[in-house]
């Protein structure tokens, strides 16, 4: 049986793969596993549920709440908020578990369910495995009478608590900075503009009118041209683009050039080292990060550690080593001193704070890192699990690596959330990278 959990929770086409009955059973099993150590006769366990604005989130939130309350857990629904807000509120309310319903950057018809343990931490694989096993042996009946949990609709103060947290995390004022923020018609639509305005920035918000059907629709961090055009139109100092659940942040400078997650990490790492905040002079990134990031960190005397793709693997390494900054090229940036997961709005605040501190443009700050040409091709496949071991793919990979030598690198990996196989090539020129990536992608597509 295929594993239910992927790189970031359970994800799939809502009401076909990710159904209400599945969500109900998943919620009940997660309640059993995640609250078993915290039950007592004095109080019932508490769960926090948040979601992004896509239409299926309403259905799945109801099913999850039913499943958890059927196992004697009180449920506090906090409404539409970013993933990092739900993680923060799980700790703030003293909850035993948290749940975010979102498919992040995926199209509207998809959805996902990700869990947080007590304190707002993402789950390790071992706990996810326990939840899957619990689903198989879950009794049909649960507690009755006073043993049934309550569902509280909705926590009216949740958004303000999260905004207060952001304000306390980044105290530097942003007066004089004009920023365009693309909210992806997602979970950031209200809170991101409010947070940036509260810090003193002049905010021009776009794609901040979610309809339940327009999340990520030609906007947000996966369609960066939208925020680039708005920055140039309004003459802004920078633009920020979030994804559907606002745990990502990408940027563009005043000239419209993209500043990706690697460049943002380089800017923040140098700032934190200068201010004595980069513990052990170490940055944690993933294997997908550009080779230019490593070269820039080497020059600055900063150690770059790499993990598997996925911000939870970055988090695991950050926590294990006691480091203070990590992230992904895609814009997941994690600062453990301020949050337990990637936070796109916090990243935007930190980036603008560095601009305010130095009175230097984003374009100049991003120049600390030279981005080597990198080509990424996502190849749709029928079974991503067999691609890497196929002899044709192995042979094509060996040829590509021989051609590049020490001047670049190749990375092949299966997507953790979709039936895609990713082909990434870095090379001295974009022409070489595209040619080699195209050859590899063609082999993968025909396996």
Annotated binding residues for Mg(2+): 104, 243, 245, 247
Model confidence at 1: pLDDT above 70 = no
Model confidence at 320: pLDDT above 60 = yes
Give the C-alpha separation, 378 to 210, whole Å. 28
Give the C-alpha separation, 357 to 272, whole Å. 12
Higher confidence at residue 158 or residue 418? 158
What is the pLDDT confidence band of residue 30, given thresholds at 50, 70 and 90?
very high
Model confidence at 433: pLDDT above 90 = yes
Residue 323 is inside which H or E element, if any?
Answer: none
Cα–chain center distance at 97: 19
Contact predicate 187/221, CB 8 Å: no
Give the C-alpha separation, 61 to 71, whole Å. 16
Mean pLDDT of 134-156: 92
Model confidence at 276: pLDDT above 90 = yes
In whole angstroms, how far apart are CA 292 and each of 250, 429, 447?
Answer: 17, 13, 32
Mean pLDDT of 147-172: 93
Burial (CB < 10 A; 0-12, 13-18, 19+), residue 1, is exposed
What is the pLDDT confidence band of residue 28, given thresholds at 50, 70 and 90?
very high
Structure confidence at residue 76 (pLDDT): 98
In whole angstroms, how far apart are CA 436 and each of 146, 320, 345, 372, 373?
Answer: 64, 37, 36, 15, 12
Handedness of CA 345, 348, 353, 356 (dihedral sign): negative
**Does the active-site annotation cover 361?**
no
Model confidence at 420: pLDDT above 70 = yes
Structure confidence at residue 311 (pLDDT): 83
**DSSP conformation letters of 4-51:** S-BTTBEEEEBTTTB-HHHHHHHHHHHHHHHHGGG--SS---EEEEEE
Predicted TM-score of the model (pTM)? 0.89
pLDDT digits (tens, 9 = 90+) for 101-115: 999 999 999 999 999
- Percentage of the chain beyond pLDDT 90 is 85
Structure confidence at residue 3 (pLDDT): 84
Backbone angles phi, psi at 364, to 5 degrees: -70, -40
Structure confidence at residue 41 (pLDDT): 62
Query: Token pair of 7, please?
Result: 């790189």
| Site of tokens 């306390």 | 168
Annotated binding residues: 104, 243, 245, 247
Model confidence at 430: pLDDT above 60 = yes
CATH no. for 161-366: 3.40.120.10
Structure confidence at residue 415 (pLDDT): 84
| Site of tokens 């060996």 | 398
Query: 69, 104, 189, 289: which one is catalytic?
Result: 104
Sequence-distant (6+) residues with CB within 8 A of 426 are 290, 291, 372, 373, 374, 375, 408, 409, 410, 433
Model confidence at 95: pLDDT above 60 = yes
Determine the topology of domain 10-156 in CATH: Alpha-D-Glucose-1,6-Bisphosphate; Chain A, domain 3 (3.40.120)
Model confidence at 388: pLDDT above 90 = no
Asked, colleague to colleague, whether 161-366 and 374-445 share their fold, the answer is no
pLDDT digits (tens, 9 = 90+) for 40-62: 667 899 999 999 999 999 999 99
Determine the topology of domain 374-445 in CATH: TATA-Binding Protein (3.30.310)
What is the pLDDT confidence band of residue 10, given thresholds at 50, 70 and 90?
very high
Domain segments of the chain as ranges = 10-156, 161-366, 374-445
Give the C-alpha separation, 28 to 26, whole Å. 5
pLDDT averaged over the chain? 94
Model confidence at 203: pLDDT above 80 = yes
Mean pLDDT of 350-369: 97
Lowest mean pLDDT among 23-32, 110-119, 136-145: 136-145
Contact predicate 238/352, CB 8 Å: yes
Model confidence at 190: pLDDT above 90 = yes
Contact predicate 135/25, CB 8 Å: yes
């Amino acid at each position: 049986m295929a594993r239910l959990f992927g790189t970031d929770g359970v994800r799939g086409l809502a009401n076909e793969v990710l159904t209400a009955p599945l969500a109900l059973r998943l919620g009940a099993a997660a309640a059993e596993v995640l609250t078993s150590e915290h039950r007592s006769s004095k109080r019932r366990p508490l769960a926090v549920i948040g979601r992004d604005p896509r239409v299926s989130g309403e259905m799945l939130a109801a099913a999850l709440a039913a499943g958890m309350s059927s196992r004697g857990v009180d449920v506090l629904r906090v409404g539409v908020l970013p993933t990092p807000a739900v993680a923060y509120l799980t700790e703030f309310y003293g909850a035993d578990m948290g749940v975010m319903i979102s498919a992040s950057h995926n199209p509207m018809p998809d959805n996902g369910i990700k869990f947080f343990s007590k304190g707002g931490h993402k789950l390790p694989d071992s706990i996810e495995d326990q939840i899957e096993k619990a689903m198989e042996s879950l009794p049909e009946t649960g507690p009755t009478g006073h043993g049934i949990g309550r569902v509280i609709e909705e926590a009216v103060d949740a958004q303000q608590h999260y905004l207060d947290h952001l304000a306390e995390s980044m105290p530097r004022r942003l007066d004089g900075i004009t920023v365009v923020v693309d909210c992806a018609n997602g979970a950031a639509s209200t809170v991101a503009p409010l947070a940036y305005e509260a810090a003193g920035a002049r905010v021009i918000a776009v794609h901040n009118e979610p309809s339940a059907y327009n999340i990520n629709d030609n906007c947000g961090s996966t369609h960066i041209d939208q925020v680039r055009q708005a920055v140039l139109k309004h003459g802004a100092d920078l633009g920020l683009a979030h994804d559907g659940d606002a745990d990502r942040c990408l940027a563009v400078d005043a000239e419209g050039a993209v500043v990706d997650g690697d460049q943002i990490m380089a800017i923040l790492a140098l700032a934190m080292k200068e201010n004595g905040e980069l513990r052990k002079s170490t940055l944690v990134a993933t294997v997908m990060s550009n080779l230019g990031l490593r070269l820039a960190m080497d020059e600055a005397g900063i150690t770059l550690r790499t993990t598997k793709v996925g911000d939870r693997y970055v988090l695991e390494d950050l926590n294990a080593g006691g480091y203070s900054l990590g992230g992904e090229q895609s814009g997941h940036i994690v600062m453990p001193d301020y949050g337990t997961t990637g936070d796109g709005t916090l990243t935007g605040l930190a980036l603008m704070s560095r601009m305010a501190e130095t009175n230097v443009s984003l374009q100049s700050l991003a120049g600390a890192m030279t981005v080597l040409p990198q080509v990424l091709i996502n190849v749709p496949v029928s079974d991503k699990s067999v691609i890497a071991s196929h002899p044709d793919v192995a042979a094509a990979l060996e040829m590509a690596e021989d051609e590049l030598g020490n001047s670049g690198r190749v990375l092949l990996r299966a997507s953790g959330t979709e039936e895609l196989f990713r082909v990434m090539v870095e090379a001295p020129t974009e022409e070489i990278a595209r040619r080699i990536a195209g050859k590899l992608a063609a082999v993968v597509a025909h396996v």
